[in-house]
Amino acid sequence: MRNIKLVLEYDGTNYHGWQIQPNLPTIQGAVEDAIRLLTNTYTQIIGAGRTDAGVHADGQVANFHTNSSISLDAIQSGINAFLPNDIVVSETVEVDTDFHARFSAISRYYRYTILNRPYPSAQLHRICYHLKSKINIEMANEICKCLIGKRDFSSFQKTGSDRMNPVCNFYKAFCYTKDDFIYFEFEADSFLRGMVRTIVGTILMCIKNPNSNFTDATTQFKNIVNGKDISLAGSSVPANGLSLVNVNYSE
């Protein structure tokens, strides 16, 4: 039995997230259908992250087990031939039998993209959130520093999550600007359901008041984190700005 690791890129606009749902289009469902058509065998795939409806990926990772002797190149080209054009396998690797895309991961890296100018984009509206009001990038970065470390992030866990342990360890959290875009980037050992979008929405809420200074904004954010209550957080930003950039594994 071979264990095949896939790296996937996808535009999540037309899908109800990663995880299979009855009678709804999902990324997992589309990839499993493609593998079944290629190998003539139903195979369940394991994803590193259960991206929500409308969320994209540059480097989602999945794995599946197969008895097929098809070469790696043929697996990649074959799956891609059966996939819709908004999902692509960018890499295939044969890995140890105990490799698990989700549980073997040591960190995940997400990026949230905001188009910060008076008018939206006709071409890029599927992959970024348009926000007219000017963002104070320095203040947002100061708030991002409050995320670093290991703590209970219940304040950013979407209602209805089945995860019992809300503790995550953040390694990186920062934002930067390039042209008319602002990028928020986060790396952690794990993420709660809806976490990144709620964090970005909360940061935007904390810096919204033009009279706020750095101390006021960071104190407000810290109080929300320490409150461990989703009702304290800001509204989640739209899904179209979020992408799973990559998943990291130990060598």
* Model confidence pLDDT, tens digit, residues 116-138: 999 999 999 999 999 999 999 99
Range 213-220 average pLDDT: 91
Residue 222's pLDDT band (cuts 50, 70, 90): very high
| Angle of the 195-206 helix axis to the 214-227 helix axis, nearest 10 | 140
Residue 209's pLDDT band (cuts 50, 70, 90): confident
Considering only CA atoms, which of 37, 175, 77, 203 is closest in space to residue 29? 37
Which residues are tagged catalytic? 52
- Dihedrals φ, ψ of 63, to 5°? -145, 155
Residue 211's pLDDT band (cuts 50, 70, 90): confident
Tokens 């299979």 belong to 20
Residue 151's pLDDT band (cuts 50, 70, 90): very high
Give yes or no for a contact between 143 and 218, defined as CB atoms under 8 angstroms apart.
yes
Considering only CA atoms, which of 85, 20, 8 is closest in space to residue 244? 8
> Two tokens at 235?
């509204």
Q: How many CB atoms lie within 10 A of CB 213?
A: 10
Considering only CA atoms, which of 7, 184, 186, 183 is closest in space to residue 108? 186
Helix (H) or strand (E) holding 61: strand 56-66
What pTM, to 2 d.p., does this model score?
0.95
19-73 per-position pLDDT tens digit:
999 999 999 999 999 999 999 999 999 999 999 999 999 999 999 999 999 999 9
Residue 212's pLDDT band (cuts 50, 70, 90): confident
Q: Which pLDDT score is estimated for 161?
A: 73
Domains located in the chain, CATH noted = 2-95 (3.30.70.580), 108-249 (3.30.70.660)
d(CA 30, CA 92): 17
Task: Enumerate the H helices of the chain as residue ranges.
Answer: 27-39, 72-82, 137-144, 195-206, 214-227
Task: Enumerate the H helices of 54-211 as residue ranges.
Answer: 72-82, 137-144, 195-206
Q: How many residues does the chain have?
A: 251
Range 194-202 average pLDDT: 97
Complete DSSP assignment for 99-116: --TTTTEEEEEEEEEEE-
Characterize 160-171 residue by residue with b for buried, 16 or more Cβ atoms within 10 angstroms of its Cβ, and e for exposed: eeeeeebebebb
> Two tokens at 49?
């992250």
Residue 162's pLDDT band (cuts 50, 70, 90): confident
